[in-house]
Amino acid sequence: MELLSELKLHHPISVEDAVSLHAAAPTGRYLAGGSDLLVNVRRGIEQPGSLVYLDNIAELQSITDAPDQITIGAGVTLRELANSALVHEHFAAVAQAAGEVAGPSHREYGTLGGNLCLDTRCVFYNQSEWWRAANNYCLKSRGDICHVAPGGKKCFAAFSGDVAPALLLFDAEVELAGPSGRRRMALAELYRNDGMDHLTLETGELLVAVHVAKPSVPVTSAYAKSRVRGSIDFPLAGVALRMAMRDGRIAELRVGLTGVSPLPFLAGKLDKFIGRAPDQACLEDLRDAIRSQAKAMKTTVTPPHYRRRVAGALTLKLAQSLAQDLVEASS
């Protein structure tokens, strides 16, 4: 680790002030918890001249309940999100995912917005300056070769946030503020399949809040991940699963993935499971379907085929647990 370079630190008290300060110094960065950003600054991966600190903006700090939706401020800490009874009641996978991020001290100051806007990660990128220089850098930062796939010009650094796949299960929308004003869009549209430039934020835009509609029918959801060190690490693969049943058969099924691609995403081609009984054969077919869609590359210390198998295994485990809960609840 290296010492922080000299920085200007701004303390706005409103979203509009924050956007204005950033516009005056467009090479700066917004700072919330800083658990990822400050590490990258110390390593020389990012070198902003200024930081716009968001902790004093009240609008970002609350969870608001409405009859048909919940609004979660981007500055809500992961600890607050994990412990929210309101979030647990309607979006269990979201609360579980927040509770799985890193360790307790990180969740104490890490925020929802930070986890959703987490930089993509790769074993060739998230290293010290001297390590990266000795390896001639990489396509994502100051180099011209992707060490994961040297024959191509695409960066495969993986998105490793835990909360995004859980929110995707519920068609969450994000509220953004920038120099052009405010706008809302689907959370899925916040991401693109490019490890070098995975966020679709416009210059100077700030994530303000996440809006999640309450399910209109009873559903159950959960999140699980695999990591090298269970106490702290980013996911090698993370799976969020949402399920509903009717008359003993699957009526709704969604699976969100993280850690296996430059963006979090919902698995496709799951319609074939609707109407099937969630027996072992069905759920093993689901496991295999998810495994085939987890396109992990060699961006971590574990091999890609292992992470693909882990994604499938986590899906099977979650589906078995949720199906059993739903059967018991209906009996």
Strand partners, 213: 69
The answer to whether residue 1 scores a pLDDT higher than 60 is no
For helices 280-293 and 304-330, the axis angle rounded to 10 degrees is 140
Give the SS3 label for residue 256.
Answer: strand
> What was the pLDDT predicted at 2?
67
Mean pLDDT of 272-293: 98
Q: How confident is the model at residue 177 (pLDDT cuts 50, 70, 90)?
A: very high
pLDDT at 3 over 80: no
C-beta of residue 260 within 8 angstroms of C-beta of residue 311: yes
Show the tokens assigned to 77. Answer: 């800490």
Q: pLDDT band for 75, please (50, 70, 90 cuts).
A: very high
**Which two tokens mark 89?**
């009641």
Q: Does the pTM exceed 0.95?
A: yes
As beta bridge partners, residue 212 has: 70
> One-letter amino acid identity for 10?
H
Q: What is the mean pLDDT of residues 7-23?
A: 97
Residue 5 has pLDDT above 90, yes or no: no
- pLDDT tens digit sequence for 285-317: 999 999 999 999 999 999 999 999 999 999 999
What pLDDT band is residue 26 in, cutting at 50, 70 and 90? confident
Q: Give the per-residue pLDDT at 300.
A: 96
Instruction: Determine contact, residues 93/129, Cβ cutoff 8 Å.
Output: no
Q: What are the residue boundaries of the structural domains of the chain, listed by start?
A: 220-330
Position 15 pLDDT exceeds 60: yes
Identify the architecture of domain 220-330 in CATH: 2-Layer Sandwich (3.30)
**Mean pLDDT of the chain, nearest integer:** 96
| Closest to 263 in 3D by CA, of 320, 218, 310, 197 | 197
Kindly give the pairing relationship between strand 173-178 and strand 206-213.
antiparallel
Taking residues 148-162, report their average pLDDT.
95
In whole angstroms, what is the distance from residue 34 CA to residue 37 CA?
Answer: 5
Q: Is 104's pLDDT higher than 80?
A: yes
Cβ partners under 8 Å of residue 73, min gap 6: 59, 60, 61, 62, 63, 112, 208, 209
SS3 138: strand
* CA-based R_g, the chain, Å: 20
β-pairing, 29-31 vs 69-73, is: unpaired
On the question of pLDDT at 37 being above 90, the answer is yes
| Tens digits of residue pLDDT in 115-136 | 999 999 999 999 999 999 999 9
**pLDDT tier at 54, thresholds 50, 70, 90:** very high
Residue 277 makes CB contacts below 8 A (sequence gap 6+) with: 248, 249, 250
| Whole-number pLDDT of residue 194 | 97
Residue with tokens 């990012």: 46
Provide, rounded to the nearest whole percent, the portion of the chain with pLDDT above 70: 99
**pLDDT above 70 (res 153):** yes
Pairing between β-strand 181-186 and β-strand 206-213 as defined by DSSP bridges: unpaired
Instruction: Give the list of residues 6+ apart from residue 114 with CB closer than 8 angstroms, or none.
Output: 32, 33, 34, 35, 36, 37
Is the distance from CB of 222 to CB of 96 less than 8 angstroms?
Answer: yes
CB 270 within 8 A of CB 254: yes
Q: 185-234: per-residue pLDDT in tens?
A: 999 999 999 999 999 999 999 999 999 999 988 899 999 999 999 889 99
Reduce the DSSP state of residue 79 to 3 states and report it. Answer: helix
Q: At 238, is the secondary structure helix, strand, or coil?
A: strand
**Beta bridge mates, 266:** 256
What pLDDT score was predicted for residue 331? 77
